[in-house]
Amino acid sequence: GRTIGTIPVQEATPERITQMMIGSDWKRTEWQRDAELGPVRLSVRNLNSKGLLRDVSLELRGGEVLGLAGLLGSGRTELLRAIFGLDPIDSGEILVDGTPQLKPNPISMKATGIGLTPEDRKKQGLVLVFPVEDNLTLASLHRVSSMGVLNPGKEKVLAETMVDNLAIKTARLDVKTRTLSGGNQQKVVIGNWLNTLPQVLMMDEPTRGIDIQAKEQIFALVRDLARQGLAVLFVSSEIEEVLDVADRILVMNQGRITHSRQHDEVDLEQLMALVMEEYTE
């Protein structure tokens, strides 16, 4: 509740303001290609869904961060939900490691190595009244149970390991998840899906409603996952964020992919122009 300081407008750079907000030095994440790309993990071919998705095709390789940019209602979230089997598709193909998924649904897609951190963490990604421990293992109960019976010891070890790996700030594993900050709640959502050992992680608005420091931690995590060979499909309403983390960027407009650019083929101004471009049939 205190005023930290006042600076002239001409000195008010993002770095300076952020440093004053968080009380320490801050450097914005800068994109760099960290590893050679692996095989194609996810293929989408000519996907159509209820008029929300129109003839969408894409490929995502291991070690690649593929960014989806677009305005609200452009079809980004709808595409992730369709791939994960949450919403029905009218036509088209979804292939995982070259194998067609004939009737995709969340259970079958998770079994093939696909994970999805949803757009709304509080309503779709967490059970806020559950302990942190439970929320970190909800999607991976098969790893901590036998014949339908939960093994508390295994659950604790799995949860503790993820808390350490993601630097989740929590007093204990048994505190209710609603008591955590927004950034730490988001880390729990991500950790829950990383515990399923996915080959492809689809991240829908993973930095929405969290502070700058937590955002940078998640950006660093995304790049680290790519270095480990994970394929990441990254969605953000903040176009600059997509440019910060993605190796390749697809622009969506009215349910279609209208542009594809490698990271070094486009800058922020050009990408914003592509996103704002009026699409006509």
Question: Does residue 70 fall inside a structural domain?
Answer: yes
- pLDDT of 30 strictly over 90: no
- Name the pTM for this structure: 0.89
Question: Does residue 11 fall inside a structural domain?
Answer: no
Structure confidence by residue, pLDDT tens digits, 144-203: 999 889 999 999 999 999 999 999 999 999 999 999 999 999 999 999 999 999 999 999
Structure confidence by residue, pLDDT tens digits, 60-87: 999 999 999 999 999 999 999 999 999 9
Question: Does residue 8 fall inside a structural domain?
Answer: no
51, 88 Cβ separation under 8 angstroms: no
Give ∠ CA 35-211-128 in degrees, rounded to 5: 95
Are 100 and 203 contained in the same domain? yes
Residue 272: which domain range? Answer: 39-113+198-207+230-281
Are 82 and 203 contained in the same domain? yes
CATH number of the domain that 261 lies in? 3.40.50.300
Choosing from 149, 174, 196, the residue where a domain stops is 196
Question: Does residue 4 fall inside a structural domain?
Answer: no
Output the CA–CA distances (angstroms, integers) from residue 144 to 153, 194, 200, 258, 273, in the order listed: 8, 14, 22, 43, 48
- pLDDT of 110 strictly over 60: yes
The pLDDT, as a whole number, for residue 85 is 97
In angstroms, the CA 250 to CA 226 distance is 18
Are 109 and 131 contained in the same domain? no
Amino acid at 90: D
Question: Does residue 63 fall inside a structural domain?
Answer: yes
172, 193 Cβ separation under 8 angstroms: no
Report the domain count for the chain: 2
Question: Does residue 78 fall inside a structural domain?
Answer: yes
Are 174 and 161 contained in the same domain? yes
- pLDDT of 138 strictly over 80: yes
